[in-house]
Structure 1
Amino acid sequence: MTGEGVKLDISAMSKRATTQNSLNSNKNLYLCICNTTEFMAIDLDYIRHLAENHEGVDVEFKETTGQLNRGMETLCGMINGSGGIVVFGVSNKGKIIGQEIGDKTTREIGEAINKFDPAVDIQPMYARLDNSDKYIIAFQTDGLETDKPYMWDGKPYHRHDSVTSVMPREKFIRLHEHQHGLKYKWENEVNATLKIEDLDERLIMNVVHGAVRRGRLSNDALNDSVSTLLTRLNLVKNGSVCNSAAVLFGKEFFDYPQCRLRLARFKGTDKQYFIDNQQHVGNIFQLVDAAMAFFFKHLNLSGTTYHRIIREDELEIPYDALREAVVNAYCHMRWGYEIATVGIAIYDDCIIIENAGRFPVRISPNVLMQREEEDRKNTSMPPNPVIANVMYIGGLIEHWGRGLSMMARECERVGLPAPTFNQDGIIVKTTFVRPYDTSKDTAGVSKSKLGVSKQTDDVLPIKVSLLKLIKAIGEDWYSSYDLCDILGYKSRNSFVRQHLNPAIDGGIIALEKPDKPNAPNQRYGLTLKGKALYYERHDDKIDVENDPQKDPQNNFEGQIDPQNTADDPQKAAIFKAIKSNPSISRVELANTIGCSESTIKRRLKEWNIAWLGHPKTGHWVFVAEI
């Protein structure tokens, strides 16, 4: 160094000091001339002060720029947090040792700064040690950068106390959504390969008609085209179909491995032995139906007198509570996680429903239930508001922000404990306790020895006309006029006398207003017995794979072992390429076996291989390993 530092007014350096935070508000900046190179300077006394107070969430020491990469990772974490300073030339015990600076050092620093994405305006600051040719090098940020989350060398980092680590993907997504708004949400992203014609038009119209009957859409919606309806529901953007439309109304799901439901009935209280294992592929409406059908297949339909004078039919765990839990799983699911699907496991002692997601920050489910009960507040905070809105107008969601407390009340009504909720990483689990011994009277519930199918079938002969009536009603409520119109009957009186009344007398259909049977606005819906028949017998036309005992490669997660490459040389070549380079691109994989990129994309989905992480910096994973 050939000259002394010249003290400058801080305002004169404002353009280059935009990244300084409150830590350096009281320190002086210097302009030092070393040969012909200009440097930002930092007060050595300030460094001594930091060294005396040791490392923390906003202070990190590195001995030399030999640890430059680790230092930049820490700086990235501070940028994504509340700011801080990284100092080179100080040991982690606070001893100031300094280091020499040459052309190689300055070049490496410049290259390291260029690895930030998005780019940052942070420059190194220097302090020369007394009577020495060694320097302290510091990087500082105020944490006020506007393009969070930032990545360094392709990975996002965050700070926890004095530890730097790779930011979890769910935090990265949350921070990105918070910083950039709803337009970046997965549900609002456009699928360029999907057309409106690829959606289930009949299902769309059924949902709209139901929404009009419930008063959740105006009558004007009945005259809209499908394109206009999708626009009205925010499911298309500039004429292009969004991801939300695909998972709600799609018919093919090659691009959506999330649209898979895993169902398992285990023998005992662990996963050692299967009784039944299924996988269903479909849209949200189809998958909710598949889940409820599975419950009716494996749970006991019982008669209960608990807190009642009249004996009523009841699933051993209340139907409404189970359905609300399944609907919540899809409403609050983190659809951006391609490798995560909804799973339901039935054990002898409990039922566990899991989905990719997280609880609201710093709010536990118990607090949410308390708010629902005591304050009557709407606690619903779905991460997918567009999907949640369509589920609401479509009747899957009855009331906003009352689901948790309703599940608790329903379970307590039949003498069972309220469901419990816990989060394990990116997976949220809802657990229902089953009666301790489902073969005996428990909590006022006595098990039917006939089972669901036998009990409902013995009520009255199952005629084709009755099955049509059951299928027409489903989960909804209709007037007799609506049912006549849907089923094509010309005489309402004949329909009521020959079909509706026998179903009511047989306990299959219930009146919405039983105390006013002749009310002009009377509506009809299925009883629990009727719903049992509906879910056992209706043709939902969704893909299903059953009988896992004949396929040893299946596990509860519902995934077939992707690494079995026997008798498939192309598959073997692809897996070998991925194992040797997990970040290999689809184009490179296509060249490996001499096929098109679209073929590779399709085959990877067939083999349950998903891309995990950022499009530029992620890697392939075998789903069975997750």
Structure 2
Amino acid sequence: MSDFLNTIITKPEGKTLEFRRDCASPTLLMKTLVAFANTAGGRLVIGVGEDRQIVGMKAPLDEEERLRSLITDGIAPHLIPNIELITIHDTTLLVVEVFVSALRPHWLKAEGHEQGVYVRIGRSNYQADTALVAELGRSAEGISFDEMPIPELSKDDLDLVAIQKFFAGDWKLDEQALVTIKLLTSYQRRLVPTKGAILLFGKERILHFSDAWVQCGRFTGTDKAVIFDHTDIYDHLPGAVESIMQFLYRHIKKERPIPLTILREAVINALMHADYSQRGAPIRIAFFDDRIEIENPGTLLPGMTLDTMRQGSSRIRNHVIARIFRELNLTERWGSGIRAIFNEATDYGLPEPQIMEIGMRVRMVIYFASPGQSTTTKAQDEQSHTLPKAQAQLLVEAQGELTRKAQDEWGGDRVIRAQVRGHVDHDIIALCSEAPLSSAEIAAALGHKQLSGNLRKALPRLREAGLLEYTIPGSHNSRMQKYRLTAKGEAVHAASSIPDNSTKVQVEEQVDISEKTQGHNLIRAQGMLFCEAQDNSPIEAQVRIRILAACSVQTLSSAEIAAALGHKQLSGNLRKALPDMREAGLIQYTIPEKPNSRLQKYRLTDKGRALLRAAQEQKS
């Protein structure tokens, strides 16, 4: 009996445990047993007071018989729990153990099939809505929501161009291939898209799944009182991963780093395991000063608890989405994501992430390191003992090699261009110091939608300089190929982070300060003149700068932009400015595949954000 006291009585109430003083409220007892059977199982211990005082049962045999009758008469389908009488110090407790039922959903007969289904979230019982009742039934039958057909749609409702682009020629995406990866399925002797196919690549995804989008917000402080930046992401789900990562990377400060691999894994986990059958709210990414919260709709799958998730246990909710993410190498293996997040947070010295159920949603909280707290890896810790002079010499040599390559490549205006190259190289080295990254991941982390321009040339240049190397050197074109720092690259990264005056002097001597200043001034001047060059009108330029400033706070529709600039409607300079700015790459649609959508809004591109900064610096 002492084992029972140690393992049960001393535990807090939660998803799989509840204490009751007596059987005075039979309806509440039945709700708990139904919720246990529908969710993750659990134990109901009767005879324990609120202060954990063991009060026992006055007539335990009679109460056991009464409870069995209540369960038989009040719960459907028929539930058979394990009921035991346990005596501790001449006091008898009634312990009812319920396992996850294969006949779920169970319900209270008195309330009916539609209203009487309950699930367990935390230490409370929640009434399930129609969508959750259906999900419980599907999970019991082994049916995934995203595998179900949508009979009223056809293959033409899929964005086949986008699918082919994502698979980048690895598949010949004919009908048979689409059936193999379950984007199409047979229904009454014809092929129709699955729900997963529309969620992933539907042309009118939001029309069919109104909450299948992602809401991102950057808040000032540690609560949602003040929002600093906001964007709504309507991309195809695989593309949404990169868009979310761009948003997060834009706001991560160097003095409080967090490994991008942790964030990426958490984002992918939310997209893969969201319950898209639920209605009411999208996936939400909330960025605070001390943490990032990633929240998706849906409860934990039956049989799963927060503890089993932390231990690495996993079940797939959306089989089609998981399959596509796996084929696109967004996930390397199934079932290891959560455990990897916890392990990596430990390796980087970050506070332990939290997973919690908030109503009918699951939230993961990833904390930044406290100010001044070290987040270096073991390899970086070992390098910290290297002499600063040796590190500085490596840094000088590497910078000289990279600058020489940039000058040879660019020719004219080599000082300014070499500086731009140097910033790109430094950022890539810093990123790869955290974990090996693919070229696409590097591009996303730097705020690019794809690998192009300076970035495309920087990677081979860094490899030739001996700072980066392939993770799979024998297969250069492998889909799994990534880049990691060499020993020389690690030393260079460590040296560039050392606040040692002698190191700084040696590095600064490699660049002529006057030319550097002139270069920055030239770039700022070019930024200010860009808008004026559109039609040689300072008024037009100011309109464009004001549009950029408005869209820097949050995504805005054309009507909202007009209102922000003090206009009653979209007209004149403003009507002309928006398409001009889109063509110039300063702003972009939030729903690019639907230019005329009533939900259409505008957001800044990296180019637009850079121009706005240049204009603000020039004004100051």
- In which range does the TM-score fall when normalised by the shorter chain? 0.3 to 0.5
Greater strand share, structure number: 1
Structure with larger Rg: 1
Compute the TM-score of the two structures, normalised by the length of structure 1: 0.47
